[in-house]
Chains A and B, each alone.
Chain A
Amino acid sequence: MTEVPTPVDPEVAAVTFSSHLLDFFAHGRPTREAGWATFSLDPLHAIVIVPARRQDGGVDPYFVRLGAGCYDLWPPSAAFVEPVALGGWQESPALSLWWPRINGAPFSFGLHNPYQYPDGQQRQLLCFSHTLDYYLSNHSPTPEERWRAGTHTLSATLNRLAEVLRPPYYQSRSGGNNS
């Protein structure tokens, strides 16, 4: 694995991505928790609906867009997104209903919106070592933290998100009526 993420063969990435996503839905959290769903945007991108569990027992669904351009040599890219006109999707701004408020986490984790990337882009950063974006933002994981192809799959990415999107960490949607 090189130090800087680079795209992999798109056909290989698409097959691996699809296979791992199917596996997650066949054997992972969606078999034990209601509210999960997924649909493909193109062979290298999918939207996953991740249910956030509130303290009051309610559920707030979020849209997470996964990207497989460097998968699975590197983790999938991940962003909270929201629907826009003509069937499109955009990254959710910080005060959007589709951007969660999370307080604390049981592992090293951060949400930054916007984040200034070294290449000058300003966009979300779901800052943990199971997203591609973490490796594009000058972070230095320890060997134990680093993504390992063959050991980690997108299950790691989605399971960590699911873990922080529940009490006591998940607070509410960022924008709109949070009641």
Chain B
Amino acid sequence: MEANQSQPPEKQGGHDHDLVVTIHDEDAGGQPIKIESEPASTVGDVIEQMYAKFKTQRQDGDRLRCEESGQDVFGHATEHIEAYAKHQCSKLEWLFARKTGGA
């Protein structure tokens, strides 16, 4: 795995405040994707980029959670990513999963 859980969100050389969101596709597995975002970007911007990278669109029942808290990410779409990282999900590691049937 590339991200280190014990560290704060990764910062990129040359862009001191860029944040990197690591997203694990829980359905497909494989290496996680990484999305660089400026602090002024919103969580929704990152979600949009995530779907673009996965080459898909949001579907009914999709779930996106912060790994450390289990909290839903979609509900924070309007927040700036820096504030979101500070108050909600400091490691910026997300888990993506599509709808599951069962009972």
Q: Which of these, A27, A142, A153, A159, contacts B101 with CB under 8 Å?
A: A142
Q: Is A106 an interface residue, CB under 8 A from the partner?
A: yes
Contacts of A145 in B (CB 8 A): 61, 99-101
Interface size of A by CB at 8 A reads: 31
Given known A27-B32, A106-B63, contact A139–B100 (CB-CB < 8 A): no
Q: Is A31 an interface residue, CB under 8 A from the partner?
A: yes
Given known A27-B1, A106-B63, A145-B61, contact A151–B101 (CB-CB < 8 A): no
Least distance between B49 CB and chain A CB atoms (Å):
20
Interface size of B by CB at 8 A reads: 25
Contact B102 A134 (CB under 8 A): yes
Among A60-68, A123-131, A171-179, the one that faces the other chain is A123-131
**Most A CB within 10 A of own CB, among B27, B59, B63:** B27
Q: Which residue of A lies closest to B24 (CB)?
A: A28
Q: Which residue of A lies closest to B101 (CB)?
A: A145
Contact B60 A127 (CB under 8 A): no
Q: Is A141 an interface residue, CB under 8 A from the partner?
A: yes
Contact B97 A156 (CB under 8 A): yes
Bound-complex Cα distance A31 to B101 (A) = 27
| Residue interface bits B13-31, CB-to-A below 8 A is 1, else 0 | 0000000000011111111
| Residue interface bits A136-176, CB-to-B below 8 A is 1, else 0 | 00010110111000011111100110000000000000000
| Residue interface bits B29-70, CB-to-A below 8 A is 1, else 0 | 111100000000000000000000000000111010001001
- B residues whose Cβ falls under 8 Å from a Cβ of A: 1, 5, 24-32, 59-61, 63, 67, 70, 95, 97-103
- A residues whose Cβ falls under 8 Å from a Cβ of B: 20, 23-24, 27-28, 31-32, 106-110, 127-130, 134, 139, 141-142, 144-146, 151-156, 159-160
The 9 closest A-B pairs by CB, nearest first: A155-B29, A145-B101, A128-B102, A129-B101, A141-B101, A31-B1, A159-B26, A107-B100, A156-B27
